[in-house]
Structure 1
Amino acid sequence: MVTWIALFRGINVGGNNILPMAKLKSDLESLKLKNVRTYIQSGNAIFDSSAKTASSLTKNIARRIEEQHGFRPHLLIFNRKDLLTA
């Protein structure tokens, strides 16, 4: 398992793209992501996954949120190693 960090852009800002963190956590867990944690209302999340690429995670997460909440979020996903070297 790899630890990943997801940084969402433009959710819960100015009354638009509302996504409660409990629902985000549930959505991520429904994708079989493990140890999901969220940080404040900004939409940042940390989780573990056996996924090999950030690209596959990004597509799956964005699709799930669009299906469940009616908007497709912009997000960046890094593994822990890449974030620490940035």
Structure 2
Amino acid sequence: MKTYIVLLRGVMPTGKNKVPMAQLRQVLSDDGFNNVRTWVQSGNVLLKTEQTATKLEKYVQNLIKKYIGPDLAVMVRTGAQLQKVLEENPFQEGYDISRVFFVSFKTPPREILTC
């Protein structure tokens, strides 16, 4: 089994994108995922599965839509992928690390042409 970090985009504590973490953990556990853990009301999940990352993204998106309601974008990453982002951060020395943020795209962005 492989450990994945599942990131849900647009989770809100109230309103149309509300995803209660206890309910999310239950839905994922009931569906056979192992060691399901969530982080506060963030929409971040850690779990173990035999599925590939690509299949897991769509599968979790469908489970959330079916059992909880919101149709959210889902990104799946490994710990090694996130560690690489942190290690390759160009803003390390001379920067307040608590003020440095990163963005992870589901797919690579299109090249932007500038004039």
TM-score bracket relative to the smaller structure:
0.7 to 0.9
Q: Relative contact order (alpha carbons < 8 A, sep ≥ 6): 1 or 2 greater?
A: 1
Deviation track 1:36-84 (CA, whole Å, cap 9, x = no partner) reads: 1100101101011112x21100111001111112221112110122221
Residues paired across the two proteins, number? 85
Equivalent residue, structure 2, for 1:73: 72
Q: Greater share of strand residues, 1 or 2?
A: 1
- What is the CA–CA distance in structure 2 between the aligned matches of 1:54 and 1:85, rounded to whole Å? 17
- Classify the secondary structure of the residue corresponding to 1:16: coil
Q: For structure 2, which runs of at least 5 residues remain unmatched after alignment?
A: 86-115
TM-score by length of 1: 0.87
4+ long deviations beyond 3 Å: none
TM-score by length of 2: 0.67
Identity among equivalent positions (%) equals 33
- What is the CA–CA distance in structure 2 between the aligned matches of 1:70 and 1:20, rounded to whole Å? 11
Q: For structure 1, which runs of at least 5 residues remain unmatched after alignment?
A: none
Equivalent residue, structure 2, for 1:20: 20
- Classify the secondary structure of the residue corresponding to 1:57: helix
| 2:44 is the counterpart of 1:41 | no
Larger radius of gyration: 2
Alpha-carbon offset, residue 8 of structure 1:
0.8
Deviation track 1:5-35 (CA, whole Å, cap 9, x = no partner) reads: 0111111255231111100101111231100
The one-letter amino acid of 1:60's match is: Y
